[in-house]
Amino acid sequence: MNSSAAHSLASTANSNNEKVTSSHPTSCQNFENYSDPSRPAWIEVDFAALAHNLSEIRKRVAPAKVMAVVKANAYGHGLVPVARFYEQSAVDMLGVALLEEALFLRENGIACPILVFGGLLESQIPHFLLHQIDITVSSLSKLEQVDRWALHLGCKARIHIKLDTGMGRIGTRANTAQPMIEAALLSKNCQLIGIFSHFACADDPHDKMTALQLERFEEGIGYFEKLNAPIPMRHLANSGAILHHPKSFFDMVRPGILLYGIQPDSKSHVELELKRSLTLKAKTVFQKGMLKGQTVSYGATWKASKNTWISTLPIGYGDGFMRGLSGKAEVLYDGKKFPVVGKICMDQMMIESPEMSVPNDAEMTLIGRSGEEMITVEHLAEQAQTIPYEILTNLNSRLPRYYL
């Protein structure tokens, strides 16, 4: 920790009426003499990898524009720093799931266009308008609500029409979308920015559902030609579609997990040269010898089969490292693998090192590379019987993030 941060800690303590008594040694008042007290479990984010992946995607989809999807804390990478990086990289838009995410970006100075994908309540509409956030309009009634509020506040609402082509979440079915499209075109209070839908199965290059959804989306777009109206910006392709379905690129694509160097599904064919942007590390805080027959962690489910060494890491499922990885995951140290043993706790987990006593303060890699070995998000997802998205987005704000 730098000296200003340390002095900030001191100021916080004083503001909470905590007294520093004269019985403490004088040296304790000199914070600059002490090492960084930050938590010894952290995430590193590589901006160079993000830049490389964005460049690869841009080359693949050109001339289509790129909306960088930063929902769910930028897939665990940190919402504001990553959004700021993409804004500086001149992406055309940012995509988030929630109004709260968009407002937080605006509060932190992010000025580029932001689209909120999710459904909305009428009470949220004024906040969209006051902060110039693009609105997903999923039905004629929602459009009418937005139109009324824009008239009331004397401003133009930026809207994107959402078609449901088979996902079944929100949006008007493409074959019944003409009344909503006509109303959007006639509205004097709404600016029609885009029209979009979302694929359900694009991660699998062989799934026939994608072609059906593409056909339905084109049917919805066809209403603009029937009405002799200009077509707004069309966007459909997510990460899987960017990899497998060039016909879906249209005017803009919406990469999410692909931006972070992760393949969306084990069935995906990753033809792009991607770089992984996230590393998860923790330092050992305790180690001890374990005798044959002694147990580790809750439920005493793991028992030492011989005399061995156990080290404790200060990270657990309370940080998002899933409990389902108990007894399955491994960590890396000095290019070697060490198994996670016993149940992963909320704040701690244990590893076994039969051949050696790992030194205190040893830096372990939970996601990322050490020497010739690597632990990937995809591998952890397979072990936990989930998807890479869940592994990444589980990593929460208890873990400090450092940007390289």
List, by residue number, the catalytic residues. Answer: 71, 298
Sign of the torsion formed by the C-alpha atoms of 187, 107, 105 and 102: negative
Peptide bond into 232 cis (omega under 30): no
Tokens describing residue 193: 């920015």
Query: Is-contact 294 301, C-beta < 8 A?
Result: no
Tell me the HSE value of 333 on the side-chain side, using a 13 A CA sphere.
Answer: 23
Q: Between β-strands 363-370 and 373-375, what pairing exists: parallel, antiparallel or unpaired?
A: antiparallel
B/e letters for 161-192, b = 16+ CB within 10 Å, e = fewer, are bbbbbbbeebbbebeebbebbebbeebebbeb
3-state helix/strand/coil string of the chain: CCHHHHHHHHHHHHHCCCCCCCCCCHHHHCHHHCCCCCCCEEEEECHHHHHHHHHHHHHHHCCCEEEEECHHHHHCCCHHHHHHHHHHCCCCEEEECCHHHHHHHHHCCCCCCEEECCCCCHHHHHHHHHCCCEEEECCHHHHHHHHHHHHHHCCCEEEEEEEECCCCCCCEEHHHCHHHHHHHHHCCCEEEEEEECCCCCCCCCCCCHHHHHHHHHHHHHHHHHHCCCCCCEEECCCHHHHHHCHHHCCCEECCCHHHHCCCCCCCCCCCCCCCCCEEEEEECCEEEEECCCCEECHHHCEECCCCEEEEEECCCHHHCCCHHHCCCCEEEECCEEEEEECCCCCCCEEEECCCCCCCCCCEEEEEEEECCEEECHHHHHHHHCCCHHHHHHHCCCCCCEEEC
Tokens describing residue 326: 């108990």
